[in-house]
Copies of this chain bind each other. A is one copy, B any other.
Amino acid sequence: MRELKPGPFEIGLNAVIVAVTEETPRVLAVQQPAASPSPPDRHDQPLDTLPYGPLHPQRDRTLELGLRGWVREQTGIELGYAEQLYTFGDRNRAPDFEGGVARIISVAYLALVRETVPPGPHAHWRDCYAHFPWEDWREGRPHQLDDQILPALDAWQSRAPDQQARKGRRERIDIAFGCRGASWNWERVLDRYELLYEAGLVAEALRGRSKRLPAAPSLGRPMLLDHRRILATALDRIRGKLRYRPVVFELIAPQFTLLQLQRLVEALAGFRLHKQNFRRLVEKAGLVEGTHRLHHNTGGRPAELFRFRREVIRERPAPGVGLPSSP
């Protein structure tokens, strides 16, 4: 076994803090600090950044406690549900630091919060789909897909150096974007983002390189460094987990109508559900329990208010909301 050589590392913690309000999934973003060494993109708008904090080796007994600590200090938010998401450590994730002092390793956490508490001075809640417009199919298939994305991906495919690479690219496009017989898989958020990155269709991909791709569109709102990749990982995780863990209830008030719950799930999944079947599924799965109170602001017949049945975790092996695999 080779001995451990401590390298020049910095370790930090990124938080992806997600809430859903007005049927829109939102992420807590902060304005790029002015002192940042990396020049802003060619865009006029300043870039969004995910909240980032240090790990105090003495104070923080665990990574998660460290995260909760600085989130509390920076934003005043006391996180409820939080889980480790992924650890990002690519060398090129902070291009400006390359060759400089240290390699930055970042352990990202996903946190779900119930209310859009007013964020701190430099922070704001940003619609997640501003960064991934192609992921929201609630109003039907996004036009951008056929207008821009698929043609640009086709062009990228044809730019492949040889026949085999062309075939490989075609295959990846088909799987990620549901072309040629494959169906759109709403959980493959990360696959899609990474493919667009490789194809040079998101602004982040062009930062370090000479801009050799002239006509490629820049899709979705970019973020600082690799933060959009982190966000894609988070959305991927949320969508994947909807199926088999009752994560939605971390995002909704203790009492809710079934339509509110459905709208919340739809906002996260990115497509619409059949109303009656959704009711049947969550009720038969034992996920919810009717209080006998009514909610009158519906515009129609009042709806019963429900609450989450925590006991379901005992009873069911995989208590998630029933979701189809494709829209």
Contacts and interface: CB of A to CB of B under 8 A. Distances in A.
Interface string A307-327: 000000111111000000110
Contact of A11 (B11, B33, B313, B315): B11
Nearest to A73: B2
Contact of A7 (B57, B62, B183): B57
Given A175-B314, A313-B175, A317-B187, A62 B89 contact: yes
A135 to B, nearest CB: 15
A249 B234 CA distance: 27
Contact of A10 (B4, B92, B102, B171): B4
Interface string A95-133: 000000011010100000000000000100000000000
Interface in A1-39: 1-12, 30, 33
A11 B12 contact: no
A6 to B, nearest CB: 5
Contact of A56 (B7, B56, B92, B314): B7
Interface of A: 1-12, 30, 33, 51-57, 60-63, 70, 73-74, 84, 86-87, 89-92, 102-103, 105, 107, 122, 171, 174-175, 181-183, 185, 187, 313-318, 325-326
19 contacts: A1-B51, A1-B52, A2-B53, A2-B70, A2-B73, A3-B54, A6-B102, A7-B54, A8-B57, A9-B9, A9-B55, A63-B105, A87-B87, A89-B107, A174-B314, A175-B314, A181-B315, A182-B314, A318-B325
The 9 closest A-B pairs by CB, nearest first: A317-B325, A57-B103, A7-B57, A63-B89, A87-B87, A182-B314, A185-B317, A6-B10, A61-B91
Given A7-B55, A9-B11, A171-B314, 13 more contacts: A1-B53, A1-B74, A1-B122, A4-B12, A7-B56, A7-B57, A9-B57, A57-B91, A61-B92, A62-B91, A87-B87, A316-B325, A317-B325
